[in-house]
Amino acid sequence: MFRIAVLASGRGSNLHVLIEASRNSELSAQIVGVFSDKPGCGAVALARAAGIATVALLPRNFPSRVAYDEALFSEIAAVQPDLIVCAGYMRILSENVVRRFQDRMINLHPSLLPKHPGLDTHSRVLAAGESEHGASVHRVIPALDAGPVLAQAHVPVLAGDTPESLAKRVQAREHPLLLRCVQALAAGQTFASPMRLNDTDQLEPAA
Ligand code: GRF
């Protein structure tokens, strides 16, 4: 069985989608561990409730980012993941762990990369007056939010949108986007060129 490790810092709605899909066999994979920098976050609670092993380490207990990442990723390596999914993991990863695992690590980011890497993407899209926004799943490389895009989901920016209303619209599309990407990777798909999530929640070539 294809083995997935998930990194998360937040409420865990994307993790929830992956857990449900693996339970009902929509996703032929096993979630073998959930890893976090926030022991009290929703994602960790969800994983525990689902009987999934969790490791949550507090950054303040480590002398440096490198030491923290070495500790967390040695726990991740121990579950022997085929794929590491960063689903709302809010810490920047140090270069050494990225280099070690980048052949099998993806991240979900709430913007149409390469636009708006980093934080506060919804406010930045509104401030820039853009008419379109979305989410990207990309491979992780040492540079932040800069690895090759596997697939994107697009949403319109509507008159009167606030960062909150826009975030809600993007998050509704992140869930099928992430699930389709993880399903495809578990099935051995290589994503030779970027894909786009269409209106029926299928991936199709972006161009
Ligand atoms: C998502 O919007 C993701 O794009 C961002 O953090 C959020 C995580 O949501 N990086 P959740 O914890 O999966 O609900």
Q: In angstroms, how far is CA 195 from the centroid of its own chain? A: 16
Q: Can you give the pLDDT at residue 207?
A: 79
Tell me, in angstroms, the distance from the centre of ligand 1 to residue 37's CA: 14
Atom of ligand 1 nearest to the CA of 14: 13
Residue by residue, pLDDT tens for the chain (207 residues) are 999 999 999 999 999 999 999 999 999 999 999 999 999 999 999 999 999 999 999 999 999 999 999 999 999 999 999 999 999 999 999 999 999 999 999 999 999 999 999 999 999 999 999 999 999 999 999 999 999 999 999 999 999 999 999 999 999 999 999 999 999 999 999 999 999 999 999 999 997
Closest to 120 (Cα-Cα) out of 111, 129, 108: 111
At 192, is the secondary structure helix, strand, or coil?
Answer: coil
The model's pTM: 0.97
| Cβ-contact 150, 194 below 8 angstroms | yes
134 within ligand 1 shell (Cβ under 6 A): no
CATH number corresponding to 2-205: 3.40.50.170
Which amino acid would we find at residue 75? E
33 within ligand 1 shell (Cβ under 6 A): no
Q: Rounded to the nearest 5°, which phi and psi values hold at 38?
A: -130, 90
Q: Can you give the pLDDT at residue 2?
A: 98
Helix (H) or strand (E) holding 56, with range, is: strand 54-56
The whole-angstrom separation of Cα 141 and Cα 114 is 14
Atom of ligand 1 nearest to the CA of 11: 12
87 within ligand 1 shell (Cβ under 6 A): yes
56 within ligand 1 shell (Cβ under 6 A): no
